Amino acid sequence: MSDFDINEPGRSGIAGQATTADADFPARHLPFLTIALLLSYMAVAMPLAVIPPFVTSWPGYGNALAGIAVGCAFVSTILTRTLAGGYADRRGGRASMRLGLCLYIAASLICLVSGLSALPKPLSLSLLIAGRLLLGVGESYTLVGMHGWGIGLMGPKGAGKVLTWTGAAMYGAFAFGGPLGLELYHLAGFVPLMGLCVALPCIGLAIVQPVPSAPVLSGERESFWPVLGTIRPYGSVVALQGVGFAVLGAFLSVYFLHEHWRFGSLGLTCFGLAFVAGRLFCAHLPDRMGGLRVALISLCIEALGQGCIAFAPSPFIALAGAVFTGAGCSLIYPSMGVEVVRRVSGPMRATALGGFAAFQDLSYAVSGPVAGIVSDCLGYKAIFLMGALCALVGMVLVLRLQKAESTPR
């Protein structure tokens, strides 16, 4: 089977005869990749909420060290996105995703060993950080591999659906993994929890085993820096979108407490349900309507949601704002990803998507600390206004991209 699109440069006439047979690939294979990612990503999501109470339970170990143990995984993910993309372009998305799942297994094993009570606590912390760093590398290879594998099977015209389903699996894992991880930690402890985190990627490997590989695209591989120039405006839009998600995830529950409102714990639930619903029911829109148009509408909805939270007179309006924010954020990443896929050559596709995803990682990493400083100086409402402002700036960038695209060359 070929992963070339019918209009993609470099396609051979023989490969073109396979398009009819390729049409059933999404129905037959993409769900397997998505389910495998959902289960495997629980190994990322479940420990996330558990590590802070686990580390701070050690005498003399506080929130700063717990924060390092949590955050180091995101740093290693940012630093290895393009490396994973290059590997996926050379070896194929199947090889990249399978390697990433193996790294998940190894990282979870190291974290499991760090929880053994017989170890000195400095050694336990060192092993935990090493495992988290390796987990971040595994995330790069897994997600970039999923992108490359899925788009290779479906063709570039199905890129929006692949990116959408990938995000639905990730955020679905976060929605279920956080509460489940905390519950298992309180019931059984850290070591059994990490044992489950070892088992889930093994199940993921078994699920993807029958899925065929997509041929590796041949052709000249250009330097990453020109590709970075191509993807930068689309990555910038995604980074601006990420601010709203980051401030909501970090500060909405604290904002509710500050306002003496109830139901603060429902904020992330409202966001997550709207986000996943958008990914599940509107996955076709970026491919059908075009990424720029969908992103413009989505950023408008996100800005409305952030504004509702900032000016909410009651918790119910704030929760409605969380729903709007989730719905708005849902399709921006796949919409911009579709535009990136359209503009890069096949042999550089996974590399470009890896660099593109790093914009979102960087946004999440920077937005939390910046929002904390803003809230200390100006209050909690200001950080949601910051999220709304970033979404509006994103709309301006999209309008400029639309204008540039419509201008005759």
Q: Higher model confidence: residue 408 or residue 373? A: 373
Q: Please determine, for residue 3, whether its predicted confidence score (pLDDT) is greater than 50.
A: no
CATH class as words, domain 221-409: mainly alpha
Given this model, what pLDDT does residue 108 score?
A: 96
Q: Please determine, for residue 71, whether its predicted confidence score (pLDDT) is greater than 80.
A: no
Tens digit of each residue's pLDDT (9 = 90 or more) over 132-187: 999 999 999 999 899 888 888 887 777 778 888 887 888 778 777 777 887 898 89
Q: Mean pLDDT for the chain?
A: 83
Tens digit of each residue's pLDDT (9 = 90 or more) over 4-19: 333 333 333 333 333 4
**Is 0.95 surpassed by the pTM of this model?**
no
Q: How is residue 211 written in tokens?
A: 């899925």
Question: What is the mean predicted confidence (pLDDT) over 116-124?
Answer: 89
Q: What is the percentage of the chain residues whose pLDDT exceeds 90? A: 37
Band of pLDDT at residue 24, cut at 50, 70 and 90: low
Given this model, what pLDDT does residue 256 score?
A: 85
Question: What is the mean predicted confidence (pLDDT) over 32-41?
Answer: 92
Given this model, what pLDDT does residue 269 score?
A: 77
Q: Which of 56-60, 120-124, 249-253, 355-359 has the lowest mean pLDDT?
A: 249-253
Q: Please determine, for residue 307, whether its predicted confidence score (pLDDT) is greater than 90.
A: yes
Q: Please determine, for residue 337, whether its predicted confidence score (pLDDT) is greater than 90.
A: no
Given this model, what pLDDT does residue 385 score?
A: 96
Given this model, what pLDDT does residue 8 score?
A: 39
Q: Please determine, for residue 334, whether its predicted confidence score (pLDDT) is greater than 80.
A: yes
Q: Do 1-218 and 221-409 show the same overall fold?
A: yes
Given this model, what pLDDT does residue 347 score?
A: 67
Q: Please determine, for residue 198, whether its predicted confidence score (pLDDT) is greater than 90.
A: yes
* Domain boundaries defined on the chain: 1-218, 221-409
Q: What is the percentage of the chain residues whose pLDDT exceeds 70? A: 88
Q: Which of 80-84, 262-266, 340-344 has the lowest mean pLDDT?
A: 262-266
Given this model, what pLDDT does residue 209 score?
A: 92
Given this model, what pLDDT does residue 217 score?
A: 63
Tens digit of each residue's pLDDT (9 = 90 or more) over 218-239: 655 566 667 778 888 999 999 9
CATH code: domain 1-218 is: 1.20.1250.20
Q: Higher model confidence: residue 272 or residue 402? A: 402
Q: Higher model confidence: residue 209 or residue 16? A: 209
